[in-house]
Amino acid sequence: MSKNDHMLTILWMLNSGEKWTAKQISEKLEIHIRTVYRYMDALCASGVPIISDTGHNGGYSLLHPFIQSPLLFSMNEKKTLLHAAQFAKEAGYPLSEALEKATSKLKMYSNQEQERLLSHHVAGFGVINRRGYPAVQPVLQELELAVANEWSVEISYRNRHEDQSPIRVIDPYGVVNWNHKWYTIAFCHLRNEIRSFRVERMLSITRTPFSFKRPHEFSARTFFMKNLLPERVDKSGFISLIIGGRAEALDDLCMHWYLEHHLQERTPTQAIFLLEEEALYKHIPYIILPYGKSLQVIEPQNLKNKLVAVASELMEYYQG
């Protein structure tokens, strides 16, 4: 830690209201006791009201609470930040090393009782997500820098339809984590339009000497969601989908990333959705089939027929 970090840590320790000896501070920060004396002199010279008591119960303390928020976090704020860090780690946050240092400092700038309470809160709180692709970490780090500094990057990208697409230059406007995957929303110079790219499909990424200017008030999240689920004002061609079944299965279906946006009504025994005809027959059978007998399509009849056809194709495939 740097000198400034050490001095800030000492302020946090003193502001806890406890009295600290030079020996305790040196052991806590793992520095020489004479260095502690020098830091105390520097803090006093800068106007910090430090009281130095001698004798058996002596030590350093503050005349009154010197640092207030936002420089100091309350226990609830510290707990919240540590919990949020666990979510970020599980999502594959690219700056994991810096995140680890930040959470370590939160614990370090606490007295013993606060450290004990924080340890209990963290130990009893868990977040489990599906693990992402390990190779995306360095790509995400480079993208994060490119977004922040508005640098254009050159990428080699693999899409679903071909092994590898041509090398292209993109201007990354933002990075989005959705459904356990990372995406970057960027202006593609090859296609001359804003597009979304799956990060794990980027085979390589290279910084270019060029820069760009992100459109004013552009939201990568808003762009991504509008492309994922485009709004349609005219719903005259939409069809009602009525599904019955077990309450747990219906609850799970209603939370599906696609269907939750089309839910119209939920009763104890049924869920009613409103969908475009094309999507109804193209996607819904493959969403419903994994639920087996726990769900049943009530309407429309044509969807039942489609489910029978898809199931028959699967049976013929595996029997063959």
Would you tell me which CATH number, out of the four given (1.20.120.450, 3.30.70.870, 1.10.10.10, 3.40.50.1370), belongs to the domain 3-62?
1.10.10.10
Q: Domain locations in the chain?
A: 3-62, 75-123, 136-228, 238-319
pLDDT by 10s per residue, the chain, length 320: 778 888 888 888 888 778 899 999 999 899 999 999 999 988 887 778 888 888 888 899 887 666 554 456 777 888 888 888 888 888 888 887 888 888 887 777 676 777 788 888 888 888 887 666 677 888 999 999 999 999 999 999 987 766 667 789 999 999 998 888 899 999 999 999 999 999 989 989 999 999 999 999 999 999 998 888 766 666 677 999 999 999 999 999 999 988 998 999 999 999 999 999 888 999 999 999 999 999 999 999 999 999 999 999 999 999 97
Distance, CA of 320 to CA of 316 (rounded, Å): 6
Answer whether 0.75 is exceeded by the pTM.
no
Distance, CA of 23 to CA of 164 (rounded, Å): 62
Closest C-alpha among 62, 84, 73 to residue 114: 73
Would you tell me which CATH number, out of the four given (2.10.240, 2.30.30, 3.30.160, 1.10.8), belongs to the domain 136-228?
2.30.30
Distance, CA of 168 to CA of 195 (rounded, Å): 12
Question: Domain 238-319 classified CATH 3.30.70?
Answer: yes
